[in-house]
Amino acid sequence: MTASAVAATIASRVDAGSGALIGYLPVGFPTLETSIDAAVALVENGVDILELGLPYSDPVMDGAAIQEATQTALASGFRLRDGFTAIEQVRARVDAPVLVMTYWNPVVQYGVERFAQSLRDVGGAGLITPDLIPDEAEDWVHVSDELALDRVFLAAPSSSEARLQRAVEASRGFVYAVSTMGITGARADVDRAARGVVARLREAGSTSACVGLGISTADQVRDVLTYADGAIVGSRLVSALAEGGVRAVGAAATELAAGAN
């Protein structure tokens, strides 16, 4: 099977003595064109891996900033095919792996095999699926193996040892270690439970674990990278884009990247 570009990027950053910075933005916010420019700006300002979210009408895990952005995108006419357009245009401009964060229902509605093929055709690296557990992912596991796409499953503080083990075995690229219970959003302190989740993932055999939910400063990025392989930032970047446009999101990326150097 073709090597994972996501895993290779993370390993390269870890080997360099730090870890990867992963940046999230929703496609289509505030417009499709601006979201593409913003994603490019993240990479140009130090983000190693992009996580592009597909706006969805029932974003159960997303905090206020991301929910507002995705609702704006939907109200402006976002369609799932716009996600593929964005990935293709971003990949034409910057050489960084692009993962798609999506709830599972849109993939099923589009067709799992059709979605996976379209994703590969535009240069996407794989999917982060927050509401899909490995035990219910047979179709996705099969087609992602066939097309060499990454599949990132979540591990939370409440996950049983068996569930953590399954996430490690089923994930390709990295395992997404959720630092807190609840929804996304910048927090003053990243939950100490993150260290416990990553330690348990290591015991289960994980060689690539990245922490997300609540990271919003360079110091938090730096702290997370002392024990995890990557730090995932979302709400901070979405808020920067909402408040100051592409220039502001690029500046936020530069600040956050200082914690990964």
What are the catalytic residues?
51, 62
Residues 6+ apart with CB under 8 A from 155: 163, 164, 167, 168, 175, 176, 177, 178, 197, 200, 201, 209
Kindly state the helix (H) or strand (E) to which residue 209 belongs, with its residue range. strand 209-212
Q: Do residues 240 and 27 touch, judged by C-beta distance below 8 A?
A: no
User: Taking the alpha carbons of 189, 38, 19, 59 in that order, is the dihedral positive or negative?
Assistant: positive
| Helix residue spans in the chain (DSSP H) | 5-15, 32-44, 64-75, 80-93, 104-110, 112-121, 138-147, 161-170, 193-203, 218-224, 235-257
DSSP state of 259: G
The 20-26 sheet, strands edge to edge: 150-152, 126-128, 98-101, 49-53, 20-26, 230-233, 209-212, 175-178, 154-155
